[in-house]
Each structure stands twice: as C-alpha cells, then as structure tokens.
Amino acid sequence: MNSATHATPLFDPRFLEKIEYLSLVSRRAFRGRLFAQRGGRRQGTGIEFADHRNYSTGDDVRYIDWNIYARHGELLLKRFQEEEDLHVYFLLDCSRSMDVGVPRKFDYARRVLAALAYIALDDLDGVGITTFVDDARNDFSLVRGKQRIHPILRFLEHLETHGNVETNLQRSVRTFVSRRQRRGLVIVISDLYDPAGFRLGIDLLRHERYEPYLVHLYDRQESNPPPRGEVELVDIETNHVETVTITRRRRREYLRRYQSFLDSIENYCRSHAIGYLSTATDRTYDEAILDMMRASGILVRRT
C-alpha cells in the first residue's frame, strides 16, 4: 500500500499552535549530569563553573584556580559546562502490520512523529529518522531548525509499509547503533509485533547508552475482537491465512493473552525506567502527545 496517496495531512495547523510552547527533552543528560531545565551539558570552556580537576602538563594555565593554589598549594584546573543540544532519533515501524486500523496505525505513527519532530526542531534540537522492518530501511539524516519540518513531512508522506517480511527490531537497532553518531534520545514508534520480542532491540539501545522511549500503538479491534463467529485471520506480514471459530472461551483467552502482552511492555519499561506511551489510534494524536508530557516529563513547558 502506498501511503503517499493518503490525503489527510500530517499536520493540523491548530495543533501546531498547541505544541509551539512545548520543548522536547530527555530525562538523562548526555555527556554530563541531568540538569533541571533541559538538554544535556558537556565539559567545555563555557561560562558556567562545573568543578576542578588536577593540573596536567600541557593544560592551559589560564584555567588554573590561583585562589586555591594560594591557600592550599594545589594546582587545580577549573572546568566549565557548556550547553549542548539534544539529538532526537526516531525509529519508525514500517511493517505491514502497521496498515491495520482506522485510522491506520502507520498514518497515526507518522502524525505523532511529525508533531514530536516539530517540537524538537523548534527547540533547536537535532532530529533524525530511521524506518525499520526486518532491518533499518530508509533514513532522514539529522537536521536542525524549524524550517526543516517541511522536508521531514515530505519524507514521511512518501513512506510505504513493507510486507512478506517479519519485523526484527534487534537487527534494525544493531544497524542504527553501528553508525558514528552522538548518543541521544531514541523514540521507537511501533505496534511492537516482533516475533523475537521487542526487548532485544531496546536492550541494545540501552547497552549502547542511548535513551529509549517507546510509543506503542494499537487498534481497538486488536484489543477487543468480535464476540463470536467464524473469522478468517490473515497474518498481514507473512500472508498466512487461518480460519478460526471464535467462541466465548477462545475470546476470553485471547483477551487474557493480549492484556498480558500489554502488561509485559509496561512492566519492562517500568523496571528499566524507560519512558512509555501506549495508545489506541482512535485517540487524537495531540492527546497522546500531551499524555507523554504529563506522564513522563519527556515534554516540558518552555520557560
């Protein structure tokens, strides 16, 4: 299915007005400790004092703390902190299972991504996008500046889902982390239908010192199937077809397993302090994004 033909725009201008006052931040500071306001900090030659370290031959003597030397006879170098922008990477699921639903999970995912990308660009953060199925597929290289939202929208509008292959988040993440790039926040937008399990990919992000955030999307019919009757089930990623008679017992078992799947995602994220949003696609995407702000602190009001 070619999603480029979808007529609904990715951006609602009224929603853009709502999100302009928001700023995208990570709960972890990269190359430095977490500061209360936003962004990461790194050691540099900025104007805000950080701490001291011992003087080494070749260091710039202009940064020696002569007051400490006069009092204690120790040669210590002043270190300063310098503000650093945040790198925000999006991993977008383009598997065929994202075609399910009204609206399609894929359309909903692209709108959420576009809105979050706009927030990050408006705050002068770097934004990059990688799509994945069985491996990393298409890339939109890291950009900065709010004016870059239009190329991002064009990129998203021309994306397509891919069938006949199974989702493999771990392999996709392995390709992603193999690149020479600065660590940052990685927002994974997916229905998390990975036969090997989504944890392997997220664990790899954590191991490589990225900060993952999961946006899990589902369609209401996935969580609430028809009550009874004979249905034809089609694995949309492999085209495997199976006819199943839904009985009250089978439906109850399906609901139990699906709830267990949802609980496993939430429990995994909670145990590893990973930001997490689970949302049905019949909610408006601005409500979902505002939930991210309220629940996790990943979005904060600009001061």
CA dist 121 and 113 (Å) reads 12
Last residue of a domain, one of 84, 117, 151: 84
Higher pLDDT, 4 or 85: 85
The mean per-residue pLDDT over the stretch 146-153 comes to: 90
- Strands 229-234, 241-246: pairing is antiparallel
Question: Could you tell me how far CA 237 lies from the centroid of its own chain?
Answer: 23
Is 1's pLDDT higher than 50?
no
Q: What is the pLDDT of residue 34?
A: 26
Structure tokens at 79: 């270190």
Last residue of some domain: 68, 84, 100? 84
CA angle 215, 221, 222 (to 5 degrees): 55
Residue 285 lies in a domain: yes
One domain for residues 143 and 284: yes
The pLDDT value recorded for residue 189 is 98
Q: Report d(CA 287, CA 139) in Å as an integer.
A: 27
Give the structural domain span for 62: 40-84
What is the rounded average pLDDT for all residues in the chain?
A: 79
Same domain, 201 and 240: yes
Other C-beta atoms closer than 10 Å to the C-beta of 260 total 9
Lowest mean pLDDT among 55-69, 204-218, 278-292: 55-69
Instruction: Please indicate, yes or no, if residue 120 is contained in any of the structural domains.
Output: yes
- Position 131 scores a pLDDT of 98
Instruction: Flag whether 35 is in a domain.
Output: no
Q: Distances from the Cα of 25 to the Cαs of 56, 118, 159, 212, in angstroms?
A: 35, 13, 27, 12
Same domain, 131 and 65: no
Flag whether pLDDT at 93 surpasses 50: yes
Would you say residue 183 lies in a domain? yes
> In whole angstroms, what is the distance from residue 166 CA to residue 189 CA?
16
CATH label of the domain that carries residue 251: 3.40.50.410
More confident residue, 60 or 64: 64
* Distances, alpha carbon 81 to alpha carbons 43, 68, 264, in Å: 5, 20, 40
Asked if pLDDT for residue 275 goes beyond 80, the answer is: yes
What mean pLDDT comes out for the span 62-78?
85
**Least confident window among 62-76, 103-117, 124-138:** 62-76
Residue 239's region, left for phi above 0, alpha for psi from -120 to 50, else beta, is left
- 94 plus 231 within the same structural domain: yes
User: Is 210 found in the same domain as 61?
Assistant: no
Is 24 inside any structural domain?
Answer: yes
Residue 113, in any domain of the structure: yes
Residues 126 and 52 in one domain: no
Spatial distance between the Cα atoms of 167 and 99, rounded to a whole number of angstroms: 14
The verdict on 135 and 54 lying in the same domain is no
Half-sphere exposure of 41 toward its Cβ, with a 13 Å CA cutoff?
19
Does one domain contain both 252 and 223? yes
Asked if residue 91 is part of any domain, the answer here is yes
pLDDT-derived band of residue 33, with 50, 70 and 90 as boundaries? very low
pLDDT of residue 293: 73
Mean pLDDT of 51-69: 76
For the ranges 59-73, 78-92, 152-166, 258-272, the one whose mean pLDDT is highest? 258-272
β partners of residue 140:
129
pLDDT computed for residue 86 by the predictor: 82
Supply the Cα-derived Rg of the chain in whole angstroms: 23
Q: Give pLDDT tens digits for 184-233.
A: 999 999 999 999 999 999 999 999 999 999 999 999 988 777 666 666 56
The more confidently predicted of residues 46 and 66 is 66
Looking at the structure, do residues 231 and 162 belong to the same domain, yes or no?
yes
Say what the pLDDT of residue 43 is: 46
Query: Mean pLDDT over residues 232-246, rounded?
Result: 62
Question: Residue 147's pLDDT band (boundaries 50, 70, 90)?
Answer: confident
- In the 8-state DSSP scheme, what is residue 95? B
Q: Looking at the structure, tell me whether residues 77 and 225 fall in a common domain.
A: no
Gap between the Cα atoms of 248 and 253, Å rounded: 9
